[in-house]
Amino acid sequence: MLSHLNEHLPSTAPLQPAFDVRGLDVKLRQAISGEVRFDDGSRALYATDASNYRQVPIGVVIPRSVDDVLATVALCREFGVPILSRGGGTSLCGQCCNVAVVIDFSKYLNRIQEIDVAGKTAWVEPGVVLDDLRTAAEQHHLTFAPDPSTHSHNTLGGMIGNNSCGVHSVMGGETSENILALDVLTYDGVRMHFGAHDGEGAGLTAAQQARTAQIHTGLAALVDRYGEEIRRRFPEIPRRVSGYNLPPLLPENGFNIARSLVGSEGTCVVVLRAKARLLDSPQARSLLVLGYPDVYAAADHIDEIMKFAPIGLEGIDQKLIEDMKAVHLHPQEVQLLPNGGGWLLVEFGGATIQESEAKARDAMRALATKRDAPSMKLFDDPEQEHLVWKVREAGLGATAHVPDKPITWEGWEDASVPPAQLGDYLRRFRELLGKYQYEGDLYGHFGQGCVHTRIDFDLTTESGIRKYRQFAHEAAMLVASFGGSISGEHGDGQSKAELLPIMFGSTIMQAFRDFKALWDPHGKMNPGKVIDAFRLSDNLRLGAGYRPIEPKTTFMFPDDTGRFSRALLRCVGVGDCRKHDIGTMCPSYMATREERYSTRGRARLLFEALQGNVLRDQWRDESVKEALDLCLSCKGCKSECPVHVDMATLRAEFLSHYYKGKLRPRQAYAFGYIDRWAKLAAGAPRMVNFLLTREPFAAAAKAFTGVASQRTLPTFAHETFDHAFRRRANGTNGRRVLLWADTFNNYWHPETLAAAVFVLERAGCEVHVPAGHLCCGRPLYEFGMLDTAVRYLENVMHALRADIEAGTPLIVLEPACAAVFRDELLNLMPHNEQANRLAKQTQLLSEFLMHDVPDYSPPHVAHKALLHGHCIHKAVLKMDSEIEVLKRTGMDVNVLDSGCCGMAGSFGFDKSKYEVSMRVGERVLLPAVREAAADTLIVADGYSCREQIAQTTGRRALHLAEVMAQGLGREAPYL
């Protein structure tokens, strides 16, 4: 069947000629104020998007102004070089990678130029992030309706390129229906305006007027030639993103040129700015979740539910929920769903919560009378609503890397059919998956008939790739038989372009070619995409030739079949690490807006290093090293990335190879072995402190260790905690617990450990402290000193052997240290029974008190508190217990969404990283601390966090142990 799909057919895309790359590079640097990057690292960084495809670009330009864009296009035309416009790089079909000069609009051309509240419009630059526009519009109770799940980091330019949709397209339609005007630039250098005739296009030169007239004439002729076929072949369904958007050119649709360009994926013009339509934003929203026996039954009821006029209608199946449980993704959120095997998430909007809830209850009453009434749950808690929506938005992360299952891939992820036929389509589609022995979870925008899925294609063998091609063609024929669209949201790019003739036929395909030729007669705008495109099996990022190096590693990567290369495949390019105003991931990207400093960027560079064809130095590659240098090892990506890329671990592994056989910088020995230097300093703390605080000794110490001159070197305690603890009178009798005397609290802040002793003893515990000098080795990971880190952990397990075997709880105050025992240890020694026991017995103070002390009642603390979570605490250990114990004290707790403090161990002390450290801290945390009232307690368990706060605000932050001790009526010193 489908025997014509020969894998060895030549590509239909034209071969690229040789370009004078060096000459273009030089002229671009002379001509523009923006950034010009033709180095191998930058080319590798932009070689792929969120798709299965990889094409190494000629170079990258990051323009600061429209003039930079004009100059870039002019020079590319002079050198005959193709152009690719790029926003957030989250495209799933390969439209954002090409052998071209990539113009990245996201870093600088990201402003909202104007919001016309009365007219309900906004002028935006192409790099504007969707959520930035929505936040600004929401101040006027307006919104931009299309909202893909990447709304926190995708750009309007990318949405215009792909004709994006999202949950609330039910309310406002596709992006094409929400773009009123465009300012564009053609490859031949003509700037044009299309849209409302309100004078916005005035002032065009004669050449611009002539080219604009040519476009008008050409498009009118195209409509005359193909109008009837356009009316016949374009399905009239809510989601139709496939092909060029020709229906808006029909006379009955107003001959709307701006709308016809939406969805052209950068193959026709460069978008310079856009006028967006804004809608009234429902000020209140209510979420009703309906449970059905299976996803097919849920889909059968779409038309019935749409009669109640929801503003969003999403569907998810049981397989998605099962996979979410398997990867431990949002377990609490999953429990919120009503009974069923397939669910519809129905959102209603209104001016007030009473209005939106009334609409939901009307629907519930009507549905309850049905013979096949679904289970129902109406949410009245906004936080719970948010959690349920996270279940839907996490679809990609839940299904990409499921334990004991093959990796799933895009490639057939967003087809749409008439909503009334969705149930029948899903049944037929599941049969097709079974025929090819594929698996895929089903979820998506069911209210508009659009279905998302990732499928376990084999993209690394010739037979697997051939099978993938056959499946895609047969799936396209199935969709066409339902009168549907091959793409309902993500566009065509390369993965769908080959399939367009199945949907449109040869006449419309020629109309597409004519449309493209009118705008781009030389074929230089994102060539090989949408029309006359590469085949769906060309340019695969993996492909039959995928042979990454498989190095012997110190980390064992048990969740990734023990392979470093497999761990790198976790990054699927969704780009959540590029969000810039919420969460922890990725602090260095938030501070710089640099792709190379995002988790995705670093993962892509590591991937390229293992390929070894662009980045040939592999473990010694300087572009990879430079990108990793600004990683704060916060581990935010381990929890916030939907596929759990653990960049801190990947970074440590890379650095261990990078420095193999050569000396590290002085900072590595100064800070990596900080426990050893602290032990020495404890012998004469007053003398050491004198040298650290008096000039010229302090300046010399900073210069030698690479510490920023703006930093104050912390001074050592006059007596360490462990020394004071051993000379005290015997403590209380009770349950035996071990208190971990971590390096930072033991040598610098012993009062914190002493407070913990007081709190634990008041809770009925007999506190013991491990004898001898022990360290978990956390600082070693920052410099790739993994062999030493393993020895440290072996020493710990040997010293604690009796207590580990006895099951004695190990209470750790420093979150970064606790994470070593619960995370790094298991990655280094996954099959070591002692390691697994130690990981299970390690608890933070809050965890122990809340979950391991029966009927524990915390003291009453009549204070307001500002709580900042250490980033590793939030990512690896979670903050639930910390928040619970503080709230149970009666405190008024404000939990900051402060991300990383910016200190991150030695990171913030490093003079080369000080500026980034401060940008990270100043994003949320430090201003919040400065603004807090004098009697507000600042609570932060991380030593680094407390140090950053102290050095930049003058406020002293308290560890939870100190807060609890004070609540019990004991002031420092606690011993």
C-alpha to C-alpha distance for 295 and 317, rounded to whole angstroms = 5
φ, ψ of residue 253 in degrees (nearest 5): -105, 10
Tell me the three state secondary structure of residue 80.
coil
C-alpha to C-alpha distance for 56 and 692, rounded to whole angstroms = 50
Q: In the structure, how many helices (H) and strands (E) does the chain have? A: 44, 23
Element (H, E) at 156: helix 156-162
φ, ψ of residue 314 in degrees (nearest 5): -115, 155
Return the structure tokens found at 339. Answer: 């009974």
Of 49, 165, 178, 172, give the one whose Cα is nearest residue 124: 178
Element (H, E) at 290: strand 284-292
Which pLDDT tens digit goes with each residue over 225-280? 999 999 999 999 999 999 999 999 999 999 999 999 999 999 999 999 999 999 99
Q: Which residues of 403-433 are buried (b: 16+ CB within 10 A; e: fewer)?
A: eeeebbbbbbbbbbbbbebbbebbebbbebb
Element (H, E) at 887: helix 880-888
Please state which of the ranges 172-186, 607-621, 837-851, 949-963 shows the lowest mean pLDDT: 607-621
φ, ψ of residue 475 in degrees (nearest 5): -65, -35
Angle at 665 between CA 664 and CA 666, to 5 degrees: 115
Residues facing residue 738 across a β-bridge: 768, 810
Tell me the one-letter amino acid at 372. D
Return the structure tokens found at 671. Answer: 């800070």
Angle at 600 between CA 555 and CA 54, to 5 degrees: 105
User: Is residue 88 within 8 Å of residue 106, measured between CB atoms?
Assistant: yes
Return the structure tokens found at 636. Answer: 């935010």
C-alpha to C-alpha distance for 229 and 51, rounded to whole angstroms = 32
> How does DSSP classify residue 875?
I
Return the structure tokens found at 541. Answer: 């990022």
Q: What is the mean pLDDT of residues 526-539?
A: 96
Name the percent of the chain lying above pLDDT 90.
88
The β-bridge relationship of strands 735-740 and 765-768 is parallel
Q: What is the mean pLDDT of residues 343-352?
A: 96
Q: What is the pLDDT of residue 333?
A: 62
Q: What is the pLDDT of residue 203?
A: 65
Element (H, E) at 316: strand 312-317
pTM score, two decimals? 0.94
Please state which of the ranges 3-7, 113-117, 203-207, 227-231 shows the lowest mean pLDDT: 3-7
Q: How many CB atoms lie within 10 A of CB 304?
A: 12
Please say whether the dihedral angle defined by the alpha carbons of residues 144, 146, 152 and 156, taken in this order, is positive or negative.
negative
- 331 vs 908: which has the higher pLDDT: 908
Tell me the one-letter amino acid at 201. G
Of 529, 524, 516, 519, give the one whose Cα is nearest residue 77: 524
961-to-54, 651, 746, 969 alpha-carbon distances in Å: 51, 32, 14, 13
Question: Distance of alpha carbon 335 from its chain centroid, rounded?
Answer: 24
Tell me the one-letter amino acid at 595. E
Element (H, E) at 699: helix 697-705
Local confidence band at 13 (pLDDT 50, 70, 90 cut-offs): very low
Of 418, 508, 531, 432, give the one whose Cα is nearest residue 472: 432
Q: What is the pLDDT of residue 98?
A: 97
74-to-79, 191, 856 alpha-carbon distances in Å: 9, 12, 71
The β-bridge relationship of strands 59-62 and 101-104 is parallel
Please state which of the ranges 25-34, 192-201, 219-228 shows the lowest mean pLDDT: 192-201
User: Is residue 98 within 8 Å of residue 57, measured between CB atoms?
Assistant: yes
Which pLDDT tens digit goes with each residue over 48-63? 999 999 999 999 999 9
Q: How many CB atoms lie within 10 A of CB 830?
A: 15
User: Is residue 468 within 8 Å of residue 461, measured between CB atoms?
Assistant: no
Enumerate residues 6+ apart whose C-beta is below 8 A from 257. 194, 215, 216, 219, 248, 249
The residue assigned the tokens 């549905």 is: 367
In terms of Cβ atoms closer than 10 Å to its own Cβ (0-12, 13-18, 19+), residue 124 is buried
- 7 vs 800: which has the higher pLDDT: 800
Tell me the residue length of the chain: 975
Q: What is the pLDDT of residue 862?
A: 86
In terms of Cβ atoms closer than 10 Å to its own Cβ (0-12, 13-18, 19+), residue 773 is middle
Residue 198 pLDDT > 60, yes or no? no
Residue 403 pLDDT > 80, yes or no? yes
Q: What is the pLDDT of residue 8?
A: 35
Q: What is the pLDDT of residue 398?
A: 65
Q: How many CB atoms lie within 10 A of CB 680?
A: 9
Return the structure tokens found at 483. Answer: 């009168």
Which pLDDT tens digit goes with each residue over 135-160? 999 999 999 999 998 999 999 999 99
> How does DSSP classify residue 973?
P
The residue assigned the tokens 């922890």 is: 584
Q: What is the pLDDT of residue 113?
A: 97
Question: 218 — alpha (psi -120 to 50), left (phi > 0) or beta?
Answer: alpha
User: Is residue 716 within 8 Å of residue 743, measured between CB atoms?
Assistant: no
Local confidence band at 12 (pLDDT 50, 70, 90 cut-offs): very low
C-alpha to C-alpha distance for 243 and 493, rounded to whole angstroms = 10
C-alpha to C-alpha distance for 551 and 612, rounded to whole angstroms = 13
> Mean of the per-residue pLDDT values for the chain?
94
Enumerate residues 6+ apart whose C-beta is below 8 A from 32. 61, 63, 64, 67, 68, 71, 72
Return the structure tokens found at 16. Answer: 């690229």
Residue 327 pLDDT > 80, yes or no? no
Return the structure tokens found at 954. Answer: 């003058």
Q: What is the CA radius of gyration of the chain?
A: 30
Angle at 640 between CA 821 and CA 321, to 5 degrees: 100
Question: 195 — alpha (psi -120 to 50), left (phi > 0) or beta?
Answer: left
Which pLDDT tens digit goes with each residue over 633-686? 999 999 999 889 999 999 999 999 999 999 999 999 999 999 999 999 999 999
Q: What is the pLDDT of residue 383?
A: 83
Which pLDDT tens digit goes with each residue over 873-882? 999 999 999 9
Q: What is the pLDDT of residue 642?
A: 86
Q: How far apart are the first and last CA of the chain?
A: 80
Q: What is the pLDDT of residue 392?
A: 79
